[in-house]
Amino acid sequence: MPDTPPPTLTEMPAVAGGGLLDRRLFLKRGMVFGVAALTAETGMADALDRPVWMSRPGQPLSNYGQPSPHEKDVIRWISANAQAPGNGISWTPLHKLAGTITPSGLHFERHHNGVPQIDPAQHRLLVHGLVRKPIFLDPARLHRYPMRSRVCFVECGGNSNAGWHEEPMQALAGNMHGLVSHSEWTGVPLATVLEEAGVKPEARWIIAEGADAAAINASIPLEKALDDALLALYQNGEPIRPENGYPLRLILPGWEGVTQIKWLRRLEVTDRPTMARNETAKYTELQADGKARQFTFHMDAKSLITHPSYGYRLQEPGLYQISGLAWSGRGKIRKVDVSADGGKTWAEAQLQDPILSCAFTRFQIPWHWSGGAQILQSRATDETGYVQPARSDLIAQRGRHGYFHYNAIVSWAVEPDGSVHHVYA
């Protein structure tokens, strides 16, 4: 390497207002970010000092590891219904995570009557209805079928629904948008089992039912069942966790979570939907024209800046990275634009590869914060060309009775004191 000082960030032109810098900056060589203001030149003796944990033996090996005790706030936040034990939700702390995988212990939960403790030796899947041969499978036998893996998100149709409120809710990003998580799911393609049962020509739908005490069920169009539906046995490499459907869960990549039945025990092939509670009284919504939407399966493209976000406090002006997640239930993310001036100008963020269909895509762009008040936003575009809407556009399109499928652009206001809060902009 040449022994001459490399260029510094202040020599780089901004690519959009508010201090957004070129996303390719971090791929360049010979570029100094100037973040490490602490230099060791004057305190090398201190810097070489050994910390106390180098002077004593550490903890022993363990059969199953756990997070550091110093990360006690990297947990699911629980909002449960005290009047109905077992009915509630817990949220993935998106504001505390990086990369794309959600550790299984932090995958969001939505239960209606608690988490059943299922003995897999007693669990069966029944496939019946409009089939030539009803079949009855235990998990051990299911293991003999070909399996495939799919890295994809699962998102609750009700995620982010505080966005419909008149006033912007002040909450950590994960506590408002964390009903979405991202795992590697592995299991048997549902199509394989359906072909074994022999679907009759008049079949159009499948009614999936879980083995929890609420017997949650959902109607799935046969077309999706024969496309990429998975009878998942594994999540992130190990058997699915109890709260995510142990020992067997239906995975429907890109569709709303309520259809992806946990603790799956029964698939009834029919010629019509069953009109379950969660596809009539819930997970439908009144539109501006007085008609209700129903069977809105796909989760549309969405993005969220996770760093910085509500609850962060920037310590000083200087270089930061704006980082977040984008996903679409209709395919791959094509691009994510970021604004640091409330939407007046936009710059394209760097996307982390591999970019997969119906999967979390991490985006990032370097940002020089000058110390003033600014509004940060991100806007996802998926491979179908669909662009994540502004909140005002979503309301114009869907009216004010919305509750589900809120996917508008999220705005974080950075104040001169470095604090970050939620605004509508």
Using CB under 8 A as the binding rule, the residues of this chain from 1 to 60 that contact a second copy are 1-3, 5-6, 25-26, 29-41, 43-44, 47-48, 50-51, 53-60
- 398 touches a second copy (CB under 8 A): no
Say how many residues touch a second copy, by CB under 8 A.
147
The minimum distance between CB 247 and a second copy, in angstroms, equals 7
Nearest CA to 107 among 236, 256, 3? 236
- 83 touches a second copy (CB under 8 A): no
**Can you tell me whether residue 151 is helix, strand or coil?**
strand
- For residue 380 the two structure tokens come to 């996802």
Which of 237, 275, 288, 292: binder of a second copy (CB under 8 A)?
Answer: 237
The minimum distance between CB 170 and a second copy, in angstroms, equals 22
- For residue 425 the two structure tokens come to 């902009």
| Closer residue to a second copy (CB): 307 or 422 | 307
Nearest CA to 152 among 306, 305, 332? 332
- 270 touches a second copy (CB under 8 A): no
The minimum distance between CB 393 and a second copy, in angstroms, equals 31
| Closer residue to a second copy (CB): 77 or 386 | 77
- 199 touches a second copy (CB under 8 A): yes
- Beta carbons of 310 and 170 less than 8 angstroms apart: yes
The C-alpha atoms of residue 89 and residue 105 are separated, in whole angstroms, by: 14
**Can you tell me whether residue 218 is helix, strand or coil?**
strand
| Closer residue to a second copy (CB): 229 or 356 | 356
The C-alpha atoms of residue 106 and residue 242 are separated, in whole angstroms, by: 12
- For residue 103 the two structure tokens come to 């550790």
Nearest CA to 157 among 249, 295, 273, 263? 295
- 185 touches a second copy (CB under 8 A): yes
Which of 271, 288, 354, 372: binder of a second copy (CB under 8 A)?
Answer: 354
- 362 touches a second copy (CB under 8 A): yes
| Closer residue to a second copy (CB): 186 or 259 | 186
- 118 touches a second copy (CB under 8 A): yes
**309 CB contacts (<8 Å, ≥6 apart)?**
95, 172, 173, 412, 420
Tell me how far apart the 2 most distant CA atoms of the chain are, in Å: 81
- 170 touches a second copy (CB under 8 A): no
Nearest CA to 172 among 371, 369, 410, 358? 410
Site string for a second copy, 57-76 (x = CB under 8 A): xxxxxxxxxxxxxxx--xxx
Site string for a second copy, 201-220 (x = CB under 8 A): x-x-------xxx-x-----
Q: Is 140 exposed, middle or buried (0-12, 13-18, 19+ CB in 10 A)?
A: exposed
Which of 12, 14, 17, 126: binder of a second copy (CB under 8 A)?
Answer: 126
Helix (H) or strand (E) holding 404: none
Helix (H) or strand (E) holding 147: none
HSE of 40, CA atoms in CB hemisphere, 13 A: 6
Which of 18, 116, 254, 389: binder of a second copy (CB under 8 A)?
Answer: 116
Q: Is 358 exposed, middle or buried (0-12, 13-18, 19+ CB in 10 A)?
A: buried
| Closer residue to a second copy (CB): 300 or 309 | 309
The minimum distance between CB 347 and a second copy, in angstroms, equals 15
The stretch among 285-293, 334-342, 349-357, 401-409 that binds a second copy (CB under 8 A) is: 349-357
Where in 91-110 is the site for a second copy (CB under 8 A)? Answer: 96-107, 109
Which of 204, 265, 282, 335: binder of a second copy (CB under 8 A)?
Answer: 265
Nearest CA to 365 among 377, 375, 382, 355? 377
Q: Count CB neighbours of 71 within 10 A.
A: 10
- 193 touches a second copy (CB under 8 A): yes
Site string for a second copy, 273-312 (x = CB under 8 A): ----------------------------------x-----
